[in-house]
């Protein structure tokens, strides 16, 4: 991306440094349909059909646009069960980019988490991390371990000018290690950038400090690099000491200090799939046998070889600052526009997507009525926009069955990389502004069907009262026949 100043205007506009050559037709169902569809989906945006969605901002996972070079590379995939040239090409790129010798392929990020938990987590173990991700926590707790979150206090404050809100609280990490004992800590997991607290990045300095503490205590450092792409951009643009480093140099400086790294290539590298990488052969051997058992043979690990070719090219593109700036710059544009209108946003803008603070947006809706879920449903009604609840619905209940209310109630508006145009981003901002002005009309949700594991994926809820009809009436009043 480039930031362009327009003639006779103060506005700084992010300008795409790519053009679109393959397009997909979109539909925007009329408002009556949208009320119907969201209820058929149990007010759960995961259960909406894509054909009924105008802007799919559910996730940045597996939906990033590929480049011409990625698509071209897919044609030369070497389709073999074992020993494919595609895998050799990918290993070469991984070594070039991350400096790691060994690669265990897996079909996506959570598959890596499954293998890491299987190999390293024992009952009673404690895994410190800056912040959990849903699937990570589930894999660790399933093996009898528990998670301790050590993000600094500012990371949980919705609005704070800190550039690296995802950073570890270093003294807190040292305290946990002293209290729990290194022998009960299989690894410290560094999530860079964070997912559930608004795509907030970590500084290179903080991550290197964590690695140093791990080394001193004989504990493994584990980097979840799924969201590293945006984080690299933030290190380059926000961390004074890294201003003159290239993205490649930042990546190598970081990865050289990690014992283990895993990633979802559904996010990192504009592709699909994932993998675990390391320079430590002993650690790799502890996990190796699980790959054919759970994923597939060691040269594809459950991935489609074409995806592996796309991943190799995508990882190289990730080293290009101009390419990786697209996501963060569009997100910043959306966040700034909404923030200046008064919409409570997570500040500063992070990676992955824009995050609305639903607790503040819908002040009168208690957490027991899931304000973030309600706002996500309302936004689909307002604009055919599919965001994702990242609040209490995304938590799991306490062992005694009581609700575990999340620290933040967020609606995430993911910006898949290289997918949307700026006018679509502006449309999204417009519909959020309208909702904000009509927030008094939005009501809460209650469970109708609640699954016991990862309930946010398939759970179904109902609106409390008839607020959705009232919202639709107001929409017709304000927008008339317009969709």
- What residues are labeled active site? 81, 133-134, 224, 267, 390, 456
Binding mask 25-64 for ligand F0G (x = CB under 6 A): ----------------------------------x-x---
Instruction: Choose the stretch contacting ligand F0G; rule: CB under 6 A; options: 78-86, 104-112, 312-320, 470-478.
Output: 104-112
Min separation Cβ 430 and ligand F0G, Å: 24
Min separation Cβ 189 and ligand F0G, Å: 9
Instruction: Choose the stretch contacting ligand F0G; rule: CB under 6 A; options: 13-21, 63-71, 224-232, 320-328.
Output: 224-232
Min separation Cβ 192 and ligand F0G, Å: 8
Note if the bond before 306 is cis, omega within 30 degrees: no
Nearer to ligand F0G, 203 or 468 (CB): 203
Q: Does 108 bind ligand F0G (CB under 6 A)?
A: yes
- Which one, of 379, 397, 386, lies nearest residue 439 by Cα? 379
DSSP class of residue 96 equals H
Query: What are 30's two structure tokens?
Result: 């009329």
- Shortest Cβ contact with ligand F0G: which residue? 109
Binds ligand F0G by CB under 6 A, chosen from 135, 209, 217, 396: 135
Instruction: Choose the stretch contacting ligand F0G; rule: CB under 6 A; options: 222-230, 247-255, 424-432, 460-468.
Output: 222-230
Q: Does 269 bind ligand F0G (CB under 6 A)?
A: no
Nearer to ligand F0G, 31 or 129 (CB): 129
Residue-wise burial string across 136-145, b where 16 or more C-beta atoms lie within 10 A, e elsewhere = bbbbbbebeb
CB neighbour list of residue 96: distance below 8 Å, 6 or more residues apart:
316
CB neighbour list of residue 10: distance below 8 Å, 6 or more residues apart:
none
The H or E element containing residue 270 is none
Instruction: Choose the stretch contacting ligand F0G; rule: CB under 6 A; options: 17-25, 86-94, 102-110, 403-411.
Output: 102-110
Query: What are 442's two structure tokens?
Result: 């939005």
Per-residue CA distances from 380 to 56, 111, 195, 372, 417 (Å): 10, 31, 22, 13, 21
Q: Does 275 bind ligand F0G (CB under 6 A)?
A: no
Instruction: Choose the stretch contacting ligand F0G; rule: CB under 6 A; options: 77-85, 105-113, 158-166, 473-481.
Output: 105-113
Nearer to ligand F0G, 100 or 226 (CB): 226
Min separation Cβ 158 and ligand F0G, Å: 19
The H or E element containing residue 275 is strand 274-278
Q: Does 299 bind ligand F0G (CB under 6 A)?
A: no
In the chain, % helix, strand, coil (3-state, to 5) comes to 45, 15, 40
- Which one, of 129, 156, 130, 150, lies nearest residue 140 by Cα? 129
Q: Does 226 bind ligand F0G (CB under 6 A)?
A: yes
Binds ligand F0G by CB under 6 A, chosen from 191, 230, 317, 409: 191
Note if the bond before 193 is cis, omega within 30 degrees: yes
How far, in Å, CA of 301 to CA of 293, rounded? 9
Cβ atoms of 380 and 389 within 8 Å: the answer is: no
Binds ligand F0G by CB under 6 A, chosen from 37, 110, 355, 386: 110
How far, in Å, CA of 97 to CA of 310, rounded? 15
- List contacts with ligand F0G (CB under 6 A): 59, 61, 108-110, 133, 135, 191, 195, 224, 226-227, 264, 266, 274
């Amino acid at each position: 991306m480039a930031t362009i100043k327009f003639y006779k205007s103060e506005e700084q506009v992010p300008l795409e440094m790519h053009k679109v050559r393959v397009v997909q037709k979109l539909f925007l169902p009329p408002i009556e349909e949208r009320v119907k569809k969201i209820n058929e989906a149990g007010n759960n945006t995961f259960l909406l059909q894509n054909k009924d969605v105008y802007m799919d901002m559910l996730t940045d996972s597996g939906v990033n646009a590929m480049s011409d070079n990625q698509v071209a590379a897919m044609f030369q995939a070497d389709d073999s069960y074992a020993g494919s040239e595609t895998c050799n090409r990918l290993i070469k790129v991984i070594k070039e980019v991350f400096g790691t010798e060994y690669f265990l392929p897996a079909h996506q990020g959570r598959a890596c988490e499954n293998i890491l938990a299987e190999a390293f987590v024992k009952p009673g173990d404690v895994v410190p991390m800056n912040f959990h991700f849903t699937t990570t926590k589930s894999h660790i707790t399933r093996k009898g371990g528990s998670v301790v979150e050590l993000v600094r206090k500012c990371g949980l404050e919705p609005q704070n000018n800190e550039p690296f809100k995802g950073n570890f609280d270093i003294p807190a990490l040292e305290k946990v290690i002293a209290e729990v004992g290194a022998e009960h800590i299989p690894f410290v997991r560094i999530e860079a950038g964070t997912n559930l607290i608004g795509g907030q990045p970590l500084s290179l300095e903080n991550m290197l400090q964590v690695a140093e503490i791990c080394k001193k205590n004989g504990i493994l450092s584990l980097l979840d690099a799924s969201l590293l792409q945006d984080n690299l951009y933030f290190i380059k643009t926000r961390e004074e000491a890294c201003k003159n480093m290239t993205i490649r140099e930042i990546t190598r400086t970081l990865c050289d200090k990690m014992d283990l790294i895993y990633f979802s290539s559904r996010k990192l590298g504009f592709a699909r799939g994932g993998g675990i990488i390391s320079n430590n052969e002993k650690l790799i051997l502890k996990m190796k046998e699980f790959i054919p058992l759970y994923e597939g043979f060691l040269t594809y690990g459950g991935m489609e070889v074409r995806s592996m070719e796309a991943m190799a090219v995508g990882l190289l593109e990730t080293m290009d600052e101009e390419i990786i700036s697209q996501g963060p710059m569009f997100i910043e544009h959306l966040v700034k526009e909404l923030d200046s209108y008064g919409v409570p946003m997570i500040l500063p803008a992070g990676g992955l997507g824009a995050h609305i603070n639903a607790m503040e947006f819908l002040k009168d809706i208690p957490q027991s009525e899931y304000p973030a879920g309600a706002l996500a449903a309302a936004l689909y009604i307002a604009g055919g926009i599919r965001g994702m609840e990242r609040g209490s619905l995304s938590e799991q209940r306490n062992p005694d069955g009581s609700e575990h209310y999340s620290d933040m109630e967020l609606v995430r508006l993911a910006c898949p990389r290289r997918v949307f145009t700026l006018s679509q981003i502006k449309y999204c901002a417009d519909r959020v502004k309208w909702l904000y002005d009509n927030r008094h009309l939005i009501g809460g949700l209650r469970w109708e069907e609640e699954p016991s594991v990862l309930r946010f994926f398939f759970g179904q809820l109902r609106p409390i009262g008839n607020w959705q009809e009232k919202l639709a009436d107001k929409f017709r009043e304000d927008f008339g026949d317009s969709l």
